[in-house]
Amino acid sequence: MKKSVVREYFESLVVAVILALFVRTFVFQAFKIPTGSMENNLLVGDHLLVNKMVFAPAPTALERALLPDRPVARGDVVVFKYPEQPDRDFIKRVIGLPGDRIELRRKQVYVNGEPLDEPYVRFLQPPAPEGMTRTGDLREEYGPVTVPPGQYFVMGDNRDNSEDSRYWGFLPGSYIKGEALVIYFSVGGPAAGSGSFGGIRWGRLGNLVR
């Protein structure tokens, strides 16, 4: 017996919902930037798609071919469960990998004794003059510390305004949910600057997260 049009539409809708739930649960996650800790690369009001599969282990050859994965790399912008409140999601940049020795001197990051080139970093104020380090200021001086196995050291790009590994410690690898992929929407209100109309930052839509 030929299916009714209503039944065909209903079945198509059910399949679409199942696929959407699968994509939402296992492949992508939407994430909205809530604070300025990643400025100027990511702005408050940016809406991102997060690739949840890129760091997920694929047990079979078929899964590895269809859903290629890779290890977490230095410089990746990742969304993760905040270790002190796992029900909250944070976004930061990976600075230190397991086994790395991390140190800050006058706001310059050193990895294994070498200065890290960070063109993405923003500072609200310059480092203190040589010999006049602000005692106890983790924005100026930190470490050295060694990243434990299976954990990472993460920091916000807006270094003077970011609650990151300098303050709450290392990030367990199991807490990483995925890599920030692309800005699919951005809204910032009337003061958002050029490229904004009705609060929408059209020029940011489709920008890859780097």
Mean pLDDT of 54-74: 69
Whether 38 maps to a domain, the answer reads yes
Q: If DSSP codes are grouped into helix, strand and coil, which group holds residue 167?
A: helix
Per-residue pLDDT tens over the stretch 145-203: 999 999 999 999 999 999 999 999 999 999 999 999 999 999 986 544 445 456 899 99
The answer to whether the CB of 122 falls within 8 A of the CB of 158 is yes
Q: How far apart are CA 171 and CA 155, in angstroms?
A: 10
Closest by CA position to 102, among listed 90, 112, 93: 112
Residue 151 lies in a domain: yes
Residue 128 inside a domain? The answer is yes
In a domain, 16, yes or no: no
- Cite the active site residues: 37, 92
For position 58, which CATH number holds? 2.10.109.10
Residue among 210, 204, 178, 184 at smallest CA distance from 28: 178
Can you tell me the distance from the alpha carbon of 76 to that of 157, in angstroms, rounded to the nearest whole number?
12
| Residue 189 zone, left/alpha/beta (φ > 0; ψ -120 to 50; rest) | left
Domain that holds residue 63: 30-204
Q: Is residue 13 part of a domain?
A: no
In a domain, 21, yes or no: no
User: Using an 8 Å Cβ cutoff, are 102 and 114 in contact?
Assistant: no
Question: How many structural domains are present in the chain?
Answer: 1
Please write the tens of the pLDDT for every residue from 89-122: 999 999 999 999 999 999 999 999 999 999 999 9
In a domain, 20, yes or no: no
Q: Does any domain span residue 154?
A: yes
